[in-house]
Amino acid sequence: MVEWFGKRRPGGLILPPANDAHAAHRVTRVLGAIGMLGAGLTDTLVLTGWTPWGPLAHPNAYFSYDGEAERTKEWAIHCHASQVLLTDYTQYCSHLGRAYAALTREWAEGHSLAGRAHRTDDRFVGVELFQIESFDARRCKNYPSDPIQITLGLLSGQLAAETSAGASAERGAVDPGESLKAAAVAPL
C-alpha cells in the first residue's frame, strides 16, 4: 500500500466519511491514511465523499456532472451486484444528485421571481457533495479515532507521534498506530 502511494504520489484522494458504517468503506479510509502517512504525502488533498452509509458532517465542496458522467456512474454501480441487490443505488444516486444540482443552482444564482441573472452551466444534471479535510485535533480523540485526522495531524506536524504508550496515556495524546487499528475494527 505504502509503495503504491509512494510511486504514484496522488495529489488528491476521495475517501468515505469517518462515520461511514460500512466495514469496507471504513477500511478504505484507514488504508488511505496508512498510504499517505507511509509515503509522507504532505500535499495530498483529501476529499471525503458522501455515501448512503454515512452523511458528511460539513460539506464544503461539490463537483457537478453531466449526463454522460451520470451514465458512467450508473455503469460503475452496476458492476457491483451488491449495489443493486436490495436497493438500486443508481436510482438513489440519480435522484439525490439531481436534487443537489437544483439546490446548488439556487445557492449559486440566488432566488429571483424575475428569472436568473447569471445562469450556471445548464448541462450539468447532478452534483456530488464533498468535504475538504483539514486537521481538527478534536476529531482525533473520538472513538474510534479518525485515521485521516491522525494522518493529517502527523503530516502537518500539528500532532506529535508518541512512541511510549505510558507517555501517551499521561498526556492524553493519541497513539497513531493503535488509533489507526482501532478505527478499522471498532463498531460505530
Task: Supply the pLDDT for residue 162.
Answer: 66
- The answer on 146 and 112 residing in a single domain is no
Last-in-domain residue among 127, 142, 157: 127
Q: What angle do CA 49, 55, 56 make, to 5 degrees?
A: 55
118/146 same-domain check: no
Q: Which helix (H) or strand (E) covers residue 185, if one does?
A: helix 176-185
Do 142 and 122 have their domain in common? no
Q: 30 CB contacts (<8 Å, ≥6 apart)?
A: 147, 180, 183, 184
Summary mean pLDDT of the chain: 80
Residue 164 has pLDDT above 60, yes or no: no
Whether 82 and 104 map to the same domain: the answer is yes
Q: How confident is the model at residue 165 (pLDDT cuts 50, 70, 90)?
A: very low
What is the spatial distance between Cα 183 and Cα 172, in angstroms, rounded to a whole number? 17
66 and 16 co-located in one domain: no
DSSP lists the bridge partners of residue 47 as 14, 132
| pLDDT for residue 174 | 47
For the stretch 99-157, pLDDT in tens is 888 877 777 766 555 555 555 556 788 888 899 999 998 887 777 789 999 999 999 99
Judge whether residue 187 has pLDDT over 70: no
Do 121 and 138 have their domain in common?
no
Q: Which is more confidently placed, 171 or 96?
A: 96
The model scores a pTM over 0.75: no
- How confident is the model over 55-68, as a mean pLDDT? 86
Percent of the chain with pLDDT over 70: 77
**Which pLDDT score is estimated for 178?**
58
Phi, psi of 62 (to 5 degrees): -150, 155
Q: 49 with 98, same domain? A: no
Summarize the chain as % helix, strand, coil (round to 5).
50, 15, 35
Shared domain check, 76 and 34: no
pLDDT tens digit string along 30-39?
A: 999 999 999 9
Count of the separate structural domains present in the chain: 2
**Which one of 127, 150, 171 terminates a domain?**
127
Question: How confident is the model at residue 129, as a pLDDT?
Answer: 87
User: Which residue has cell 509512494?
Assistant: 6
Say which residue, 151 or 166, is predicted with more confidence. Answer: 151
Tell me the pLDDT tens digit for each residue of 11-54.
999 999 988 888 888 999 999 999 999 999 999 999 998 776 66
Look up the domain containing 146 and give its range. Answer: 1-57+134-188
Q: Are 51 and 69 in the same domain?
A: no
Task: Look at residues 105, 127, 149 and tell me which one is the last residue of a structural domain.
Answer: 127
